[in-house]
A and B are shown apart, each in its own frame.
Chain A
Amino acid sequence: MQITAIATVAVTIFMLGSFLYARETLSKLSSGMLSRIEISVFLSDRVDDKQGRAMSEVIGADPRVSAVTYIPKAEGLRQLQDRLRGQIDTSLLTSNPLPNAIRVRVKDPDAVPAVAQSIQKMRDVANVEYDQATVAKVLRLTETIAKLGLIMIVVLIFAAAVIISNTIRLTVFARRREIAIMQLVGATNLYIRAPFMAEGFIAGTLGALVAVIVLAILHAELLPRVMVTLSFIPFSTAHVDEVRLMFELLAAGAVVGVIGAWVSVSRYLRV
Chain B
Amino acid sequence: MYPNGVRALDNVSLEIEKGSFVFLIGSSGMGKSSILRLMYRERTPTDGEVHVDGMRVDTMKRSKIPYLRRNVGVVFQDFKLLADKTVWENVAFALRVTGARSKDVMRQVPRCLELVGLSHKSRMFPHELAGGEQQRTAIARALVNNPKILLCDEPTGNLDPATTSEIMELLLRINLKGTTIVVATHNQGVVDRMRRRVVRIENGRIVSDEERGYYFLGLGQSSVLSG
Contact = CB atoms under 8 A, between A and B. Distances in A.
Q: Is the interface of A mostly helix, strand, loop or mixed?
A: helix
A186 B69 contact: yes
A178 interface: yes
A271 B41 contact: yes
B207 to A, nearest CB: 30
Interface string A161-205: 000000000000000011011111111110100000000000000
B42 A185 contact: no
Contacts of A191: 97, 99
Contact of B94 (A177, A180, A185): A185
A271 B97 contact: no
A188 B66 contact: yes
Contacts of B99: 191
Nearest to B85: A178
Interface string A135-178: 00000000000000000000000000000000000000000011
Contacts of A177: 80, 82
Contacts of B65: 271
B66 A186 contact: yes
B74 interface: yes
B62 interface: yes
A192 to B, nearest CB: 8
Nearest to A269: B62
A181 to B, nearest CB: 6
Contact of A185 (B41, B62, B63, B141): B141
Interface string B112-143: 00000000000000000000000000000100
B145 interface: yes
B70 interface: yes
Interface residues of A, number: 14
Q: Which of A184, A187, A188, A191 has the most CB of B within 10 A?
A: A184
Interface residues of B, number: 22
A236 B74 CA distance: 70
A96 B41 CA distance: 96
A188 to B, nearest CB: 5
A182 B66 CA distance: 9
Contacts of B94: 185-186
Interface string A8-21: 00000000000000
A271 B42 contact: yes
A181 B70 contact: no
A177 B93 CA distance: 14
A185 B67 contact: no
Contacts of A271: 41-42, 62, 65
B59 interface: no
A111 to B, nearest CB: 52
Interface in A82-99: none
Contacts of A182: 97
Contacts of B80: 177, 180-181, 184
A271 to B, nearest CB: 6
B82 A185 contact: no
A172 to B, nearest CB: 16
Contacts of B74: 184
B98 interface: yes
Contacts of B98: 186-187
Interface of A: 177-178, 180-189, 191, 271
27 contacts: A177-B80, A177-B82, A180-B80, A181-B80, A181-B82, A181-B93, A183-B66, A184-B40, A185-B69, A185-B70, A185-B94, A185-B97, A185-B145, A186-B66, A186-B69, A186-B70, A186-B94, A186-B97, A186-B145, A187-B66, A187-B98, A188-B97, A189-B62, A189-B63, A191-B97, A271-B62, A271-B65
Q: Which 7 A-B pairs have the closest CB atoms?
A: A187-B97, A186-B69, A186-B70, A185-B94, A186-B66, A188-B66, A181-B80
Given A186-B69, A188-B97, 16 more contacts: A177-B80, A177-B82, A178-B82, A181-B80, A181-B93, A183-B66, A184-B69, A185-B69, A185-B97, A185-B145, A186-B97, A186-B145, A187-B98, A188-B66, A191-B97, A271-B65
